[in-house]
Amino acid sequence: MAQSRKDSRGYALRTGECQRSDGRYSYSYVDKDRNRQVAYATNLITLRKKEQ
């Protein structure tokens, strides 16, 4: 069984989310035109609001 990915504070990261080496979080996705888009945030709560 694969283990879930976690950030430096122990929170589980969802698909597309990652924590950068400088501590910021990023979420990457592909839009309707098949272009990759990336959203950045300083904390995980703000990032998940931007995902919606």
Per-residue confidence (pLDDT) for residue 46, from 0 to 100: 94
Domain holding 10, by residue range, is 1-52
User: What are the residue ranges in the chain where pLDDT is below 70?
Assistant: 1-2
If one counts the domains in the chain, the total is: 1
Give the pTM: 0.83
| Per-residue pLDDT, 1 | 60
CATH number at residue 12: 3.30.160.60
Task: Identify the helix (H) or strand (E) that includes residue 18.
Answer: strand 17-19
Enumerate residues 6+ apart whose C-beta is below 8 A from 14. 48
d(Cα 22, Cα 3) in Å, to the nearest integer? Answer: 24
Residue 34 is predicted with a pLDDT of 97
User: Beta-carbon neighbour count of residue 25 at 10 Å?
Assistant: 22
Predicted pLDDT at 4: 85
